[in-house]
Chain A
Amino acid sequence: MRGELSPGAKVAIYGLMSVLLIPFVFPTWWMITSSVKPISDIFAFPPDLIPRRVDFSTYAKVFELQPFARQYWNSAYIAAVVTAGTMLFSSMAGYAFARIRFPFANALFMVVLLGLLIPSEVTIVPLFQMFLAWDMINTHWPLILVPIFGAPSVFATFVMRQFFIALPAELEEAARVDGLGRFKIFWTIALPLARPALAAVGIFTFLHSWNLYLEPIVFLSSPEMFTLPQALTQYTDAYGGAMWNIQLAAATLTAVPVLIVFIIAQKQFVEGLAHTGLKG
């Protein structure tokens, strides 16, 4: 499909792409600009694409109304721990299923794959009861343990296995003959080669943890334990109506840092995701 295009076709493609781009880009722009508008301008007609007056006081209110810095930290450290843990344990399991021959390996792999069929939403009621019995309600343990070891990690294990299967056996043979242990081979030979797959798994895992919403509202009850997605929806007035400018300011604070990281590292991001075992 990638033949040379006529100038007319080029213009048409640029035009079509630019129109299609609006719903992808405009919401982020509208979020950032509305967050610095005074509340009286927020529903102004005609709408101001660029704020007429700028008012940063909403950003101070974000931190006054809730322990927002604490909530930010909660989300960040949970996502970091979940990402590191998933990268370690899923690459170990993926490596074993791909490269080590042991009895019942295939059957056990099928057991692990069951996690893909049983999303966390199906088991949320018993998980709540289990963590209640372990006295872990209103702690961050459920948001850390379930993603690292439960259903969400299966996808990561699958991606890592697909990667390790494609790795040439000769790379390990020499080390095996030298009598290097399996863990050593995994850690010093296989894992460094798996960097692209690991990066993709890391990005997916981070975003998944960062976006979790059902689990926090089920497991957490006090504002200083909340994670960001949960906190964002709490900026409401006495009647439950949204305090729009404050919600949008908090949303901007949540979204923009990740967006900046993404724009800096977009090549690794997009290509890493595309070149995992996902290609089918």
Chain B
Amino acid sequence: MSTVAANGTPAKERKVARKRPFWTMERRDSLAGYLFIAPQLAGIITFVLIPLGLVFWYSMHEWNVLGARFNYVGSRNYEQLLSDPALLEVLGATGIFSAGLVVFNLSLALLLAVLLDQKLKGITVYRTLFFSPVVVSLVAWTIVWRFLLQNNGGINSILLLTGVEGPNWLRNPTTAMISVIVVQVFKNVGLNMVLFLAALQGVPRELYEAARVDGAPRFKQFRRITLPMISPTILLTSIITIVGSLQVFAQIAVLTQGGPGMSTTVLVYYLYQQAFQFHRFGYGSTLSILLFVIVAVLTFVQWQMRRRLVFYER
């Protein structure tokens, strides 16, 4: 009855089922299960797995759309990748960006969560305001920051009022990298903050009371009780944040276009340039494979780390 009812032929099946049930409970459940997951599974096959196969296939071809060429070249794109003088710069920028983003994001999120966990009046107003950039359109947020970071923009004007002459933020390699990290952290740190806050509120109060009776100072309570108890959340947010940092594109495109020089050209941006600006689809696909390998390895490593670092698993 069950699944078939959903398909609209209930009465007939019911009769059959009473005599010699071909549609046993298990079979009906199996059919229901497959029908329920069918749209998602078909989507994953069509829009994820087949494209992944294709990207691997493309990566073994020389393919310039403008020249209408598509020639099998085996591993040549990969050899080119290894000898690409830009590769080290791109990987360096990607590594600095991701590491800076994760460290800054997680520590700020934890600090804000601890502050918001206090019993104070008006704390929800603060929570709302800290979270608000999450819902501001990403490109709108980035455009405002680009405006603020202009040489004669808001930030340098405010610095000048205090007698400090600020740098031309987006035109200097070091400050440009700091800028893209900071802009991205303020945009999204609210998400991790809220997850940490929920984790903090889930720590049993008795643990703190026991520690207080023993006279343990606040900092020690934080290190010995809070951090271990919320370690599953720390691991989860770090995975989400690292994988997310490797996908950052709009912020770079709007703030720096990968510059100055190649100082903020992260892998996704380089991939976009090669494939869609220089029309080198073969080489762009090779870079896609590199991105895929990095994401897969990082996820695997973090998954392994949970056994050593995480206090408990539910």
Residues of chain A at the chain B interface (Cβ within 8 Å): 1-5, 10, 13-14, 16-17, 20-21, 23-25, 27-28, 30-31, 34, 43, 45-47, 89-90, 92-93, 95-97, 100-103, 105, 108, 111-112, 114-119, 121-130, 145-146, 148-151, 153-154, 157, 179-186, 207, 210-211, 213-214, 217-218, 228-230, 232-233, 242, 244, 247-248, 251-252, 254-255, 258-259, 261-263, 266-267, 269-270, 273-275, 278-280
Contact = CB atoms under 8 A, between A and B. Distances in A.
Contacts of B272: 124, 214, 218
Contact of B37 (A43, A93, A126): A93
A251 B143 contact: yes
Nearest to B3: A182
B313 to A, nearest CB: 9
A210 B290 CA distance: 28
B275 A258 contact: no
B236 interface: yes
Q: Is the interface of B mostly helix, strand, loop or mixed?
A: helix
B12 to A, nearest CB: 14
B138 A213 contact: yes
Given A96-B33, A119-B247, A149-B39, A229 B138 contact: yes
Nearest to A43: B152
B210 interface: no
A96 B36 contact: yes
B132 A102 contact: no
Closest 8 pairs between A and B when the two form their complex, measured CB to CB: A149-B43, A150-B47, A102-B33, A96-B36, A280-B232, A183-B6, A213-B250, A251-B140
Contacts of A150: 43-44, 46-48
Nearest to A130: B51
Nearest to B250: A213
B115 A124 contact: no
B5 to A, nearest CB: 4
B40 interface: yes
Interface string B93-137: 000000000000000000110111111100010111111111111
A43 B250 contact: no
Contacts of A181: 1-6, 10, 32
A112 B144 contact: no
A259 B254 CA distance: 22
B268 A121 contact: yes
B85 to A, nearest CB: 22
B194 A125 contact: no
Given A101-B30, A248-B143, A262-B131, 5 more contacts: A125-B55, A218-B276, A233-B139, A242-B146, A270-B128
B208 interface: yes
Contact of A114 (B48, B124, B161): B48
A261 to B, nearest CB: 8
Contacts of B158: 47
B147 A90 contact: no
Nearest to A95: B36
Contacts of A151: 44, 47-48
A118 B288 CA distance: 10
Interface in B269-314: 271-272, 275-276, 281, 284-285, 288-289, 291-292, 295-296, 299
B197 interface: yes
B64 interface: no
21 contacts: A10-B120, A21-B130, A24-B190, A28-B136, A30-B144, A30-B154, A45-B160, A92-B39, A93-B41, A96-B32, A100-B30, A111-B41, A112-B37, A112-B44, A126-B285, A258-B136, A263-B132, A274-B194, A274-B195, A274-B198, A279-B202
B135 A258 contact: yes
